[in-house]
Amino acid sequence: MKLNSLIFAVAGMCLSAGTSYAQSPKDQDVALWQTESSGAVTFLPSNGTCPSALLNFTRTENLHIDMPTEAGPPRQDGVCQYSNADGSAYITAYFYITEGRTRHDEVLNAASSVMQVHPVEVMQEETQDCSDAIQFRAILSDFHAMAELVESDEREIVIDQSELYCVVMKFTNRPGRTWAVVNSDGDYFTKIRATIDAAPADEMESPMMSAISEFYSQQGIAARLAADPPQ
């Protein structure tokens, strides 16, 4: 799918209803999360990792939420929240089962959810740059996980620019930008919702993108990039 047609695909999904959720009891959270010696926490169902900090963003909370499914019991989603020092920018990470959905469609769904509640405009160039960066991190993470990347390795990492991992949007009624980012290991999605609520947003965009990339580089999942066919 060409990214210059992204805004139409996202807008077409905005008619779908939003989803509500119920926060879970704290004792259940303890059973689903494991604290590591590094200070990171691991969401045990997916093995997704939330570091204690992402550059200048500090983790403020980790919990799980019960989300309704089309059939059967609610699914349990892991959630981590991060904020910068003055609260002008924040990141929320989610780990949840794919239920057969593709990464591509889930990115569009995440972006359409933003459009349902905020007046935003898709930033095409930034969306492409973000998608390329997340794909690069995913491939690099796979190489490290398989112990195949060493200093002497000169293998070329090829980025498929038709693949969609990220949508970057700017608010049209106020300063600020917001990100919807999704990766998948085939069984679980790892999603980021990140927002800058400050001006000038341009100066904060690079640190935010670095923090998002750092999050994905820390994931232990083997991102099966071939799991979703090209759109």
By residue range, what is the domain housing residue 124?
3-227
pLDDT (0 to 100) of residue 141: 56
Whether the Cβ atoms of residue 74 and residue 67 lie closer than 8 Å to each other: yes
| Residue 143 predicted with pLDDT over 50 | no
Which pLDDT tens digit goes with each residue over 205-222?
A: 999 999 999 999 888 643
**Mean pLDDT score across all residues of the chain:** 80
Alpha-carbon distance 53 to 149, whole Å? 25
Which pLDDT tens digit goes with each residue over 173-209?
A: 999 999 999 999 889 999 999 999 987 878 899 999 9
pLDDT (0 to 100) of residue 140: 63
Q: How confident is the model at residue 136 (pLDDT cuts 50, 70, 90)?
A: confident
pLDDT (0 to 100) of residue 32: 92
pLDDT (0 to 100) of residue 161: 57
Percentage of the chain exceeding pLDDT 90: 57
pLDDT (0 to 100) of residue 30: 63
Q: How confident is the model at residue 27 (pLDDT cuts 50, 70, 90)?
A: low
Whether pTM exceeds 0.85: no
Rg (CA), the chain: 17
Q: How confident is the model at residue 142 (pLDDT cuts 50, 70, 90)?
A: low
Alpha-carbon distance 64 to 168, whole Å? 26
Q: How confident is the model at residue 150 (pLDDT cuts 50, 70, 90)?
A: very low
Least confident of 6-20, 36-50, 85-99, 128-142: 6-20
| Residue 154 predicted with pLDDT over 80 | no
pLDDT (0 to 100) of residue 145: 45
pLDDT (0 to 100) of residue 213: 92
Domains of the chain: total: 1
